[in-house]
Chain A
């Protein structure tokens, strides 16, 4: 029953928040609800951690072969935890931001949280699709109403992109369902599928497009920098911190084990080539950016690219690395966005050329910013190092890859490029002489210190002691690999 609460709390409190009068009560309601969700999520990891409580099934659309079935497995635990941790952090960090019609803003944020939870929990393809879209619609409204100047075009592009992706995925899901023995959308029926290689390959394309748009993978990424730039920063945190992970997550759960042969066939060829091109391309673009939001947006494409390659390497260590990195990247990137939000709110600009010398005026922020930035380039002792190390090691040892000697250096190049653009950002914003704009700067407030402090703590703890994450994801990883093992399937 715990799992139902994870969806129900944000959903109901979101609906209630629509009718609250005044910004403060809505803000408080949103914060309390997100803290409750966090509590439930943590209790699901600790005291209520048994299989019965983490499972829920109910009749829904018997005529269509769909049941409302949700379950928390290891990977789901990790991503639900990420979702549950992120929202209170986002709310507290942007506490002082004044929104017009704040009740609608917070209501939509909570609804998108419900959608995200549903995506990570769904064990039925139709339920998955429902939540996939439920997460999208509120975000569309959030970006279009509270976004920047060019918000309408930018978010519409985003919406059309993702919608085309998801309807193509829908066709794939319907086809898969029609091929199952029991004519059901249940995930176990999908895993038991045994369809011809030919069908696998074109369904793979239909579904991978949907996931690739969400992540995004080159060349389907063009919506992303514009949307991240135009969206209100609190929403950008959700978009980049959590929603980008939906695509990665969906490939692991709904693509790899369901279409193992196609995943194998496309894995090292099309997908990896696109991902590598995207990584290098995005890194180079990131170096050229002056706007901090766009820089982070491009850096995110590069990081996600590595995760995509690691998934298709299909080794235990690389898959576990991806899962851990999804969590870590979410935390780090939200940290960076919070910093950007603070800077933009205080000084009215995100342009690095217009900033400088903040370290003298805001030492606490500078320290926290540097740690988060270093985590983003995967320095040892930070959380990203663990994830990226595991992914690289997995790609090297993958039995499916033949060209790892080309892939790994190309991907490794991006780590160096990441250091270039992240350090450039740190240097331009924090160091150098103060300019007119930053002359009167003050340090960050308590709520921001607390949030960034928590993020830094998570970065270091997960960097030094990642064992709990490894334990959590072990079962899921082994299960996924068993289901998608091509050699094993061929023998059968």
Chain B
């Protein structure tokens, strides 16, 4: 609750800061400090210090899982700001507004990660989506950016429609919006409820870009300014997954028989399409867009399993995926040439950045000693423990091997191929930050207890 209210105020403050503060550096500092305060406020919330005492009538529930997730997501945004906030200047003139929009999105994320009523879920999803449509189209003079924005808006509106329909059916069957303490009569559940669940599943799959609802993803990610692609592909996607898991964990777990097979099929499709298509990409940015679909496939396994390892694992997976992808995008934003060839000889020009990028790529590919491996490991273990679906596990690991192909193409270009990658102008601060992020990826890959201690303390 602390963070939610603080972030709302911050969002409004940021909107007007552009009028008062003339220098971009001042706006940036304000945003970073504000976010830091929000993180601290949320940590205090976790330890039982509440600034506000508002009766929300059981519409939201800030449990341990939700609070930990909010801390993680805010910290990832913090790292995103440190690495890429400067690059937002280049997108357009409304520098302060972008921060305001990002803070509003964060508010939406807090809603989706702590809802216990479907209304709040809907509200959260919409609060996330609308600023995102604006951010996607923020490069106003670029036709691709405009196209992406429109496409995203139209398809997003469609999926929102599906979600509303699903919520209505749910309400029609249960007579309540609350997802907690749902009592479902034994025996065959009614077709109304099942249809509601499936519609909700489809609309959530759309939000996390799971196949076959992924068609918007490559175009939107490619068209949007790279800074915002980074934000969308990581933080927003993670929020989608938490909402997905929360919804199905809280209310529909007991009905598993009726929807798990469908989820398994969606997962398999996502893994297959994401990985196979990523192999054929020529641009690193587009490759990362497809890789984000592929990674979503792995995260879907948590939705399928919904047990202890799945809940722990999804948190670890989200951190690993976010840190690596934010780091990679932060480097990519600085490049002018987004093709694989553009990275030829990169290691010679920028040894520190190349080293960090290798760690991020290894983590995304799921090589041991990186957080990405443990994330994948938890997912596989969750599904094995759940029983059945071994075909999915084997398919997932084969697809992980396929993913090695396209991630390693970047490594090969950077280290083994001769070429003239353009030399980037990066500050010492950027180099250090990205090295620390890379170190975090390794640390979490060797000793993930530091996260789980928070969960279980």
Q: Decide if A291 is an interface residue (CB 8 Å cutoff).
A: no
Interface residues in B410-455 (C-beta closer than 8 Å to A): 412, 415-417, 447-449, 452
Q: How far is the CB of A421 from chain B (nearest CB, A)?
A: 33
B416 close to A144 (CB less than 8 A): yes
A159 close to B385 (CB less than 8 A): no
A129 close to B368 (CB less than 8 A): yes
Determine the residue in chain A with the shortest Cβ distance to B386: A178
A137 close to B384 (CB less than 8 A): no
Q: Decide if B404 is an interface residue (CB 8 Å cutoff).
A: yes
B interface SS class:
helix
Q: Decide if A347 is an interface residue (CB 8 Å cutoff).
A: no
Among candidates B369, B404, B412, B417, residue contacting A134 with C-beta atoms closer than 8 Å: B369
Report how far A60 CA is from B374 CA in the complex, Å: 13
A163 close to B369 (CB less than 8 A): no
Interface residues in A191-241 (C-beta closer than 8 Å to B): none
Report how far A64 CA is from B449 CA in the complex, Å: 11
Determine the residue in chain B with the shortest Cβ distance to A206: B394
Greatest chain B CB density within 10 A among A159, A168, A170 is at A170
Q: Which residues of B contact A (CB under 8 A)?
A: 308-309, 312, 362, 367-369, 377-378, 380-381, 384-385, 390, 393-394, 397-398, 400-401, 404-405, 408, 412, 415-417, 447-449, 452
Determine the residue in chain B with the shortest Cβ distance to A202: B390
A178 close to B408 (CB less than 8 A): no
Among candidates B393, B412, B416, B448, residue contacting A61 with C-beta atoms closer than 8 Å: B448
B369 close to A130 (CB less than 8 A): yes
Among candidates A60, A152, A164, A174, residue contacting B381 with C-beta atoms closer than 8 Å: A174
B384 close to A145 (CB less than 8 A): no
Determine the residue in chain B with the shortest Cβ distance to A152: B416
Determine the residue in chain B with the shortest Cβ distance to A141: B415
Q: Decide if A133 is an interface residue (CB 8 Å cutoff).
A: yes
16 A-B residue pairs with Cβ-Cβ distance under 8 Å, sorted by A, are: A64-B378, A130-B369, A133-B367, A145-B415, A156-B408, A164-B398, A167-B401, A168-B397, A170-B377, A170-B380, A170-B397, A171-B394, A174-B380, A175-B384, A175-B390, A178-B384
B394 close to A145 (CB less than 8 A): no
Q: How far is the CB of B395 from chain A (nearest CB, A)?
A: 10
Q: Which residues of A contact B (CB under 8 A)?
A: 60-64, 129-130, 133-134, 137, 141, 144-145, 151-152, 156, 159-160, 163-164, 167-168, 170-171, 174-175, 177-178
A130 close to B384 (CB less than 8 A): no
List B contacts of A129 (CB < 8 A). 368
List B contacts of A171 (CB < 8 A). 380, 384, 390, 393-394, 397
List A contacts of B393 (CB < 8 A). 171, 174
Q: How far is the CB of A167 from chain B (nearest CB, A)?
A: 4
B398 close to A167 (CB less than 8 A): yes
Q: How far is the CB of B416 from chain A (nearest CB, A)?
A: 5
A63 close to B312 (CB less than 8 A): yes
Report how far A170 CA is from B369 CA in the complex, Å: 14
Report how far A62 CA is from B456 CA in the complex, Å: 13
List B contacts of A178 (CB < 8 A). 381, 384-385
B368 close to A130 (CB less than 8 A): yes
Determine the residue in chain B with the shortest Cβ distance to A62: B449
List A contacts of B309 (CB < 8 A). 63-64
User: Lowest 9 A-B CB distances belong to which pairs?
Assistant: A167-B397, A133-B368, A164-B401, A130-B368, A144-B416, A174-B384, A178-B384, A152-B416, A174-B381
